[in-house]
C-alpha cells in the first residue's frame, strides 16, 4: 500500500472511533503532556491500537491520540511523538502528519523541550520557532514523490506561519508571558550537545537545539498545513563554551514546570484561529 493509502486507512480507522473532525492537530513534547487536561475528550486511542503506528519508547511520552474540543475547536492531540534517536525511520516519525492530512487537518501545533544557546534565554522560557535548521542526516521527503500528498520541491520561505506567531506574541503580551522568537536547530540526539557543538550551533544562527519538530514541520509544509511550534528551554548551552551537566530528568522537570504557561498560550491561540 502507498503512503497515501496507508494514511487514509488509518484516518478511516480513527474516524470510526470519534465524531471529531479535527481542524487543528497538536503534538506534545517531553514533559508537555499536561495540555491534554484542558481538552474536552471525545476519544482516546493508544498508539498500540492504531494500525501502522509505531510505539513511543521514551519516558514522559505517553503514547496516545486524543480527539476532542479545545477552546470550542475540534482538535486531535498526540501525547508522545516519535524520535529519530529511538530508531524509527523518517517515514514512521512523520506518518502521524500524513494521517492528520488525510483527516483534513489544516493547522499543526508542535511543542518540544530544547537547549538554549541564546544568552538572553533562561531555563523555563518559551520560544516560538520562527525558523529552523535541519541537521538530521536523512530528509523526510527523500524518495519518490506522491503528487497527491504534495509537490516535489516544496517552498520553505515561511516554514512557521508568521500570522500565527504574531497572534501568539499578542497573546503572550496580554497574558504577561515572556515569549521569545528564534531559530531551532534539529538534530538526532540522543546525546545532548558537547560544549563545542553548542558554540557551533549558536554560530550557525540557531537560538535553541532539540531532537524533534523539524521532520514533522517539513512534512506538514509538504502537506500545505500551517505550522506553529513552541520550544520550552529546559537547559542552557552557553556560547562561551560553558555547559552544566544535564539529565533527561532535569529536562522533564523544567518542561513540566513550564507546561501551564504553554497550555495557556496554545489554548488562547486555538481559540483565536
Ligand atoms: N539539546 C538537544 N535536545 C534537547 C536539549 C538539548 O540541550 N534539551 C532538551 N532537548
How many angstroms does the Cα of residue 185 sit away from the middle of ligand 1? 10
The whole-number pLDDT of residue 203 equals: 95
Rg (CA), the chain: 17
CA separation for the pair 162, 97 (Å, rounded): 20
Give the three-class secondary structure for 155: coil
Q: For each of the domains in the chain, give its residue range(s) and CATH number, in order of start.
A: 3-272 (3.40.50.1580)
Q: Give the chain's mean pLDDT.
A: 93
Instruction: Kindly state if the Cβ of 123 falls inside 6 Å of ligand 1.
Output: no
* CA-210 nearest atom, ligand 1: 3
Phi, psi of 181 (to 5 degrees): -125, 140
How many angstroms does the Cα of residue 115 sit away from the middle of ligand 1? 4
The whole-number average pLDDT for the span 162-182 is: 97
Q: Residue with the nearest Cα to atom 6 of ligand 1?
A: 115
- Per-residue confidence at 38, pLDDT binned at 50, 70, 90? confident
Cis bond upstream, residue 190 (ω within 30) = yes
CA separation for the pair 28, 50 (Å, rounded): 18
The answer to whether 262 and 229 have CB atoms below 8 angstroms apart is no
Neighbours of 272 (CB within 10 A): 13
List the alpha helices (DSSP H) in the chain: 3-15, 90-103, 162-175, 195-203, 214-222, 248-272
Instruction: Kindly state if the Cβ of 114 falls inside 6 Å of ligand 1.
Output: yes
The whole-number average pLDDT for the span 24-36 is: 84
Express as a percent the part of the chain with pLDDT over 70: 97
Name the DSSP class of 182.
Answer: E
The whole-number pLDDT of residue 239 equals: 73
- In the Cβ-directed half-sphere of 189, how many Cα atoms lie within 13 Å? 21
Amino acid at each position: 500500500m502507498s503512503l497515501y493509502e496507508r494514511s487514509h486507512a488509518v484516518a478511516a480507522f480513527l474516524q470510526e472511533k470519534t465524531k471529531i473532525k479535527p481542524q487543528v492537530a497538536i503534538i506534545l513534547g517531553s514533559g508537555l503532556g499536561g495540555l491534554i487536561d484542558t481538552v474536552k475528550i471525545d476519544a482516546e486511542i493508544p498508539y498500540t491500537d492504531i494500525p501502522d503506528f509505531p510505539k513511543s519508547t521514551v519516558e514522559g511520552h505517553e503514547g496516545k491520540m486524543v480527539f476532542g474540543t479545545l477552546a470550542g475547536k475540534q482538535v486531535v492531540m498526540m501525547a508522545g511523538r516519535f524520535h529519530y534517536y529511538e530508531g524509527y525511520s523518517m517515514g514512521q516519525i512523520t506518518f502521524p502528519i500524513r494521517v492528520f492530512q488525510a483527516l483534513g487537518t489544516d493547522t499543526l501545533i508542535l511543542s518540544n523541550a530544547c537547549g538554549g544557546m541564546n544568552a538572553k534565554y533562561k531555563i523555563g522560557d518559551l520560544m516560538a520557532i520562527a525558523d529552523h535548521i535541519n541537521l538530521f542526516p536523512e530528509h523526510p521527503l527523500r524518495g519518490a514523490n506522491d503528487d497527491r500528498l504534495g509537490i516535489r520541491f516544496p517552498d520553505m520561505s515561511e516554514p512557521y506561519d508568521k500570522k500565527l506567531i504574531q497572534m501568539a506574541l499578542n497573546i503572550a503580551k496580554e497574558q504577561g508571558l515572556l515569549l521569545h522568537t528564534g531559530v531551532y536547530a534539529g538534530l538526532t540526539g540522543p546525546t545532548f550537545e558537547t560544549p563545542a557543538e553548542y558554540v557551533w550551533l549558536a554560530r550557525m544562527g540557531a537560538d535553541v537545539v532539540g531532537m524533534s519538530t523539524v521532520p514533522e514541520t517539513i512534512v506538514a509544509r509538504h502537506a500545505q498545513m500551517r505550522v506553529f511550534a513552541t520550544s520550552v528551554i529546559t537547559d542552557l548551552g552557553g556560547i562561551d563554551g560553558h555547559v552544566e551537566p544535564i539529565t533527561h530528568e532535569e529536562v522533564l522537570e523544567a518542561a513540566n514546570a513550564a507546561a501551564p504557561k504553554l497550555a495557556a498560550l496554545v489554548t488562547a491561540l486555538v481559540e483565536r484561529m
